[in-house]
């Protein structure tokens, strides 16, 4: 890291750019919304107008030493509907999260390559075509895009003007090229990306992922290196400044917690022809992240059976610094999974990771991979109460479990009807086919599938394993006794509780009983989702992620048959239960690679926590890499490792002021520990206690 | 068919041989090193171990119970909600233990790793050890030993094992006896055999402040090793303050007999003088 980057990094960490943020008057925002209502503007026009408002009110800020510009000064954006209107919409429609397009992957590369002027000619051509066909709505949508493009250009001109005023001709000349014209150099491409990404945030879209950055940006880097415009060091410097830009405004982005902002970047993996795409830029990105030690962009590494151990080593180096990433995804499992759900081969090979871990397709995917969640713990609890006494053996009990899962799936999916999402004209510009079809991305695209998280998988498996062993195999516990004990939160059932908690088979310990149940349970999940179709004609994608549901779902359920008491968290993502005494990492990766994860294709990682002392010498770094590679070679789908130190976290909770930069992995993302709510902090500490 | 006693199995031990390894700890040791970090590895018998730190003193574990495994220990190991009292020491048939250790073999071998047998002193249960080795082969096997064993046993071990990690605690017989409870003549004789053998080995020196971290002792150790044929390196393990932690849990007293607060000296230069690779763990 050179001196200039050190200064810029210091500025970001000290939040110096926050000084430029404008005080936004809430009344002014409400008035803006009310005005739009009174003018009886359509939703598309409102979305366009909101973006215009934001971009027009932005004040150009060029900080000293910056070479990639655009900093947010508007900290709050107006709604497009009044409260009254929105509650009417909510009554009639299913609303996902904030009701905005989010968590998809843009095709940045095309626009960066051809420039906005050229994109305008495409839009004009489409307007001509759709006017002739009297597609009024389509034309209105296209005109909105046109306006948005012009708004971006105007702001860019104002930045150029500002640059001139303060004597930064370099920036002035840069902005005279991009975004109107396509990028020619790596620097131009990065600046262009920053403008597009900035505009997505400004338009209210969120979890704006970065996609396969090392694939679509490589051409610019290679050309600059060939021509001698850049050398390795100057390329790294630019890239580091670019990485910093993701951390400037991230506190303003919507998310469940600070840090949950979806700025995930995917590196490596096979190209459209199936050849390994890991390249110089992939390596540079890993290096930039390693040097900066910031939570954004969040690094994802795609691997496959041909990925050399040295590439895993680069990932391990990054894990070592304690950022909670990279997250690894296995092409050999993910791609067949996508294919099985009807994704084309080319698109499948091009998969990226959404905000957390879900596999989505850049440009073409309008999937909602986190639309709902199946609480496995709840289903198993219900099954035990309703069916355990009447089941003659374990397999007939599992048949009942299957039936309950099917019931629960239909219950959680039937509510997903008549979905409404605010239009997103600018986002549509960055998705394939939307211009030609004159259709907003909020209405769908090539892929319109819904993902169902499967939460508490290990808790459910452990509960079933206890049932199998004690109720049916050993017959040492009676069905009634178990039901009563769980119902009373084990009050008065101390011996039974301890037996379930400590002596029963558990997933993660390479135990045949537990692991075979996991295989069966996940196969059932896959089979039962296979028949479901959503209202857009898309399919449902079963997954093993839990997101925040590992804490939320706990509120609806009591104790469980694995000895977990009421209120204690269920297992997070695809990881062992929190009350399990684990044998160690070898058993864990064995257990979690046994189910056929090609079928559980929505994504959701196994999380391994390793003590930070493991990472102290190069020899043991290689061992961590080997562990990751083993998991992938055995058919693991997704993995993420934390280098943790429990004492440090406890200390940070006590003295947050001394640990402002301590980074931890929360569920699908990394955040600053001291900025998390206490319930998440405690969960992370508990997770570590048993895992290392 | 032979039985032995172990006190733990650890997966993913990163400092005990190449690649990903499972580490098995034999229970029982003829030495009594005053700095010992693993006091539960000293006795050849099962013992009661209690982590008192988070104990709520409900005293339930002191009530009479009829669990077979609790008999004779004066505490119940089943009743505690945190399972704080536990019995260390499990008996296994060699074949049965091998089966447990070899679970996930592909992860171990795929990374160039294997099994490391540690202790306690593995050579103190020779029949069990050789039986176990025969069941583990051809997986890579390493051993961690004090070298205190009859020469026939030691030499057979060297011929059957892939990597030996042997301690050299002190070159001076008197000091050795004082701090470990045994003479070092057998150990040094075995070391000489090892250094001339075909088997790769690593020498480990626990650096105990004021006991063996002197220039003279390090120099003598280096001279003993200088002509070794297959010495990979010397590893220095500086004493650290966590050693007493487990004594309390076993109701034992930690009596180090040296100044635990004192800084240790490394003297890595004496090994470098003889072109011996040296590192600090």
The answer, yes or no, to whether residue A669 has pLDDT greater than 70, is no
For residue A199, the surrounding DSSP H or E stretch is helix A186-202
Tell me the C-alpha distance between A602 and A596, whole Å: 13
pLDDT of residue B15: 87
Confidence grade of residue B52 (pLDDT, cut at 50, 70, 90): confident
ipTM confidence score: 0.93
Structure tokens at B264: 């240790």
* pLDDT value at residue A692: 41
Residue of A nearest to B105 (CA): A586
- Find the CB nearest A589 among B81, B107, B112: B107
Partner residue opposite A583 with nearest CB, options B11, B20, B112:
B11
CATH topology (fold) of A368-691: Anaerobic Ribonucleotide-triphosphate Reductase Large Chain (3.20.70)
pLDDT at A668 > cutoff 70: no
CB of A374 closer than 8 Å to CB of A452? yes
Q: What is the pTM of this model?
A: 0.93
How far B98 CA lies from chain A's nearest CA (Å)? 15
CA distance B84 to chain A (A): 12
Q: Chain A residues with CB inside 8 Å of B107's CB?
A: 586, 589-590, 627, 630, 634
pLDDT at position A256 is: 67
CATH value of B3-46+89-280 in 3.20.20.140, 3.30.1120.10, 2.160.20.10, 3.20.20.70: 3.20.20.70
pLDDT category at A689 given cuts 50, 70, 90 is low
Give the model confidence (pLDDT) of A438-471 as tens digits. Answer: 999 999 999 999 999 999 999 999 999 999 999 9
| B232 in reach of chain A (CB within 8 A) | no
Tens digits of residue pLDDT in B210-230: 999 999 999 999 999 999 989
pLDDT at B143: 98
Q: Locate tokens 């629960």: which residue?
A: A408
DSSP A270: B
Look at residue A553 in the predicted model and tell me its pLDDT: 72
pLDDT band at A612 (very low <50, low <70, confident <90, very high): confident
Model confidence band, residue A254 (pLDDT cutoffs 50, 70, 90): confident
Contact list in B for residue A623 (CB cut-off 8 A) is 12, 14, 19-20, 111, 113
The arithmetic mean of pLDDT across residues A327-351, rounded, is 98
Instruction: Tell which residue, B70, B30, B29, has the closest CA to residue B47.
Output: B70
User: Over 70: is that where the pLDDT of A614 sits?
Assistant: yes
Q: Which has more pLDDT, B178 or B239?
A: B178
Sorted by sequence, the CB contacts under 8 Å of residue A528 that are 6+ apart come out as: A402, A405, A406, A409
Mean pLDDT of A297-302: 97
Q: What would the mean pLDDT of A293-307 be, rounded to a whole number? A: 95
Of A196-210, A340-354, A643-657, B54-68, which range is least confident? A643-657
Whole-Å CA distances, A109 to A216, A276, A296, A359:
6, 20, 20, 19
Candidate from A190-194, A270-274, A678-682, B1-5 with smallest mean pLDDT = A678-682
How many CA atoms are closer than 13 Å to the CA of A160, on its beta-carbon side?
17
Cα–Cα nearest to A45, from A122, A166, A144, A138:
A144
Burial of A157 (0-12, 13-18, 19+ CB in 10 A): middle
**pLDDT for the residue A105:** 98
pLDDT at B167 over 50: yes
Q: What is the mean pLDDT of residues B89-104?
A: 97
- The whole-angstrom separation of Cα B229 and Cα B134 is 26
In this complex, do A626 and B20 lie within 8 Å of one another by their Cβ atoms? yes
Report the C-alpha dihedral over residues B74, B80, B86, B87, rounded to 10 degrees: 50
How far apart are the C-alpha atoms of A101 and A103, rounded to whole Å? 7
A260 versus B109: which is more confidently predicted?
Answer: B109
Instruction: Specify the range with the lowest mean pLDDT, choosing from A65-69, A117-121, A617-621, B179-183.
Output: A617-621
Q: Is the pLDDT of residue A357 over 90?
A: yes
CB atoms A498 and B107 under 8 Å: no
The minimum CA-CA distance between A635 and chain B, rounded to whole Å, is: 12
pLDDT at A617: 79
Question: Chain A interface residues facing chain B, Cβ-Cβ under 8 Å?
Answer: 494-495, 498, 502, 510, 583-587, 589-590, 610, 614, 619-620, 623, 626-627, 629-630, 633-634
Interface check B242 vs A, CB under 8 A: no
- Select the more confidently predicted residue: B51 or A92: A92
Domain boundaries, chain A: 368-691
H helices present in chain B, as ranges: 94-101, 105-110, 126-136, 151-160, 173-180, 185-196, 215-225, 245-249, 269-273
Percent of chain A with pLDDT over 90: 83
Chain B hits for A610, Cβ within 8 Å: 12
User: What pLDDT score was predicted for residue B239?
Assistant: 87
Residue ranges of B 21-40 with Cβ closer than 8 A to chain A? 22
> Which candidate, B107, B242, B8, B36, places its Cα nearest to that of A613?
B242
pLDDT of amino acid A258: 67
For residue B249, the model assigns a pLDDT of 86
Cβ atoms A671, A664 nearer than 8 A: yes
Instruction: Give pLDDT, residue A547.
Output: 75
């Amino acid at each position: 890291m050179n001196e200039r980057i050190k200064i810029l990094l210091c500025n970001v960490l000290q939040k110096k750019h926050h000084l430029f943020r404008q005080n936004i008057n809430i009344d002014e925002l409400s008035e803006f919304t009310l005005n739009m209502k009174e003018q009886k503007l359509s939703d598309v026009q409102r979305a366009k107008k909101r973006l215009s408002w934001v971009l027009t009110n932005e004040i150009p800020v060029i900080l000293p030493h910056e070479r990639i510009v655009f900093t947010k000064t508007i900290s709050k954006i107006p709604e497009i509907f009044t409260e009254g209107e929105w509650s009417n919409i909510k009554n009639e429609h299913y609303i996902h999260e904030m009701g905005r397009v989010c968590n998809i992957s843009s095709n940045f590369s095309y626009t960066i390559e051809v420039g906005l002027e050229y994109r305008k000619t495409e839009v004009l051509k489409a307007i001509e075509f759709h006017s002739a066909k009297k597609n009024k709505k389509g034309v209105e949508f296209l005109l909105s895009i046109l306006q948005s493009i012009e708004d971006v250009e105007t702001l860019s001109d104002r930045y150029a003007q500002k640059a001139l005023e303060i004597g930064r001709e370099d920036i002035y000349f840069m902005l005279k090229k991009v975004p109107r014209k396509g990028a020619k150099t790596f620097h131009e491409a990065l600046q262009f990306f920053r403008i597009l990404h900035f505009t997505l945030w400004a338009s209210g879209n969120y979890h704006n992922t970065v996609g396969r950055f090392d694939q679509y940006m490589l051409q610019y880097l290679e050309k600059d290196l060939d021509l001698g415009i850049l050398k390795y060091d100057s390329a790294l410097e630019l890239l580091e400044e670019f990485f910093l830009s993701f951390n400037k405004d991230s506190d303003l982005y919507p998310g469940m917690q600070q840090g949950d902002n979806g700025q995930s970047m995917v590196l490596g993996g096979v190209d459209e022809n199936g050849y390994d795409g890991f390249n110089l830029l992939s390596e540079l990105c890993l290096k930039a992240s390693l040097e900066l030690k910031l939570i954004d962009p969040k690094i994802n590494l795609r691997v496959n059976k041909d990925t050399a151990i040295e590439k895993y080593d680069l990932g391990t180096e990054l894990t070592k610094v304690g950022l909670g990433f990279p997250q690894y995804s296995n092409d050999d499992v993910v791609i067949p999974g996508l294919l099985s759900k009807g994704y084309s081969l080319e698109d499948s090979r091009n998969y990226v990771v959404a905000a957390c871990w879900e596999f989505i397709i850049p440009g073409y995917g309008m999937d909602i991979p986190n639309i709902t969640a199946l609480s496995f713990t709840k289903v198993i609890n219900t099954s035990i109460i309703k069916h355990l006494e009447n089941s003659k053996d374990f397999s007939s009990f599992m048949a009942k479990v299957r039936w309950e899962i099917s019931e629960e799936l239909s219950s959680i999916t039937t509510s997903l009807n008549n979905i409404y999402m605010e239009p997103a004209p600018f986002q549509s510009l960055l998705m394939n086919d939307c211009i030609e079809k004159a259709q907003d991305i909020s209405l769908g695209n090539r892929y319109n599938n819904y993902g169902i998280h499967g939460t508490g998988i290990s808790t459910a498996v452990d509960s079933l394993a206890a049932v199998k062993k004690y109720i049916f195999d050993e017959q040492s516990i009676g069905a009634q006794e178990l039901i009563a004990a769980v119902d009373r939160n084990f009050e008065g059932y101390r011996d039974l509780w301890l037996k379930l908690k400590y002596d029963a088979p558990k997933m993660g310990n390479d135990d045949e009983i537990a692991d075979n149940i996991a295989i069966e349970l996940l196969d059932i999940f896959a089979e039962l989702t296979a028949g479901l179709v959503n209202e857009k004609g898309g399919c449902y994608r079963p997954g093993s992620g839990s997101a925040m549901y590992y804490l939320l779902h706990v509120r609806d359920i009591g104790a469980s048959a694995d000895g977990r008491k009421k209120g204690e968290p269920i297992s997070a993502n695809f990881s062992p239960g929190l009350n399990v005494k684990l044998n160690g990492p070898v058993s864990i990766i064995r257990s979690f690679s046994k189910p056929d994860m090609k079928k559980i294709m929505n994504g959701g990682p196994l999380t391994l926590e390793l003590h930070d002392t493991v990472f102290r010498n190069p020899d043991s770094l290689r061992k961590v890499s080997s562990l990751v590679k083993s998991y992938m070679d055995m058919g693991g789908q997704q993995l993420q490792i934390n280098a943790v130190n429990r004492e440090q976290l406890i200390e940070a909770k006590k003295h947050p002021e001394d640990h402002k930069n301590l980074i931890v992995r929360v569920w699908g993302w990394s955040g600053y520990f001291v900025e998390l709510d206490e319930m998440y902090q405690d969960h992370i500490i508990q997770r570590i206690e048993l895992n290392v | 068919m032979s039985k032995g006693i172990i006190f733990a199995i650890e997966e993913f031990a990163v400092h005990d041989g190449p690649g990903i390894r499972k580490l098995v700890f034999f229970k029982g040791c003829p030495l009594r090193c005053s700095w010992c970090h693993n006091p539960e590895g000293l006795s050849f018998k099962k013992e009661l171990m209690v982590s008192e730190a988070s104990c709520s003193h409900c005293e339930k574990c002191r009530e009479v119970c009829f669990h077979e495994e609790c008999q004779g220990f004066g505490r119940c190991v089943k009743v505690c909600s945190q399972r704080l009292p536990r019995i260390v020491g499990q008996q296994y048939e060699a074949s049965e233990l091998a089966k447990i250790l070899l679970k996930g073999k592909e992860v171990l071998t795929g990374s160039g790793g294997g099994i490391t047998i540690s202790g306690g002193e593995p050579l103190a249960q020779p029949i069990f050890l050789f039986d176990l080795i025969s069941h583990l082969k051809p997986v890579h096997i390493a051993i961690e030993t004090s070298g205190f064993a009859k020469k026939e046993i030691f030499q057979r071990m060297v011929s059957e094992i892939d990597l030996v990690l042997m301690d050299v605690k002190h070159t001076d017989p008197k000091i050795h006896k004082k701090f470990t409870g045994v003479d070092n003549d057998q150990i040094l004789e075995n070391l000489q055999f090892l250094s001339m053998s075909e088997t790769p080995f690593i020498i480990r020196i626990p650096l105990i402040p004021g006991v063996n971290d002197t220039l003279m002792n390090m120099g003598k150790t280096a001279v003993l090793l200088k002509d070794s044929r297959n010495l990979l390196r010397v590893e220095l393990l500086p004493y650290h303050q966590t050693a007493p932690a487990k004594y309390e849990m076993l109701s034992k007293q930690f009596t180090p007999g040296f100044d635990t607060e004192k800084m240790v000296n490394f003297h890595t230069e004496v090994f470098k003088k003889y072109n011996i690779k040296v590192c600090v763990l």
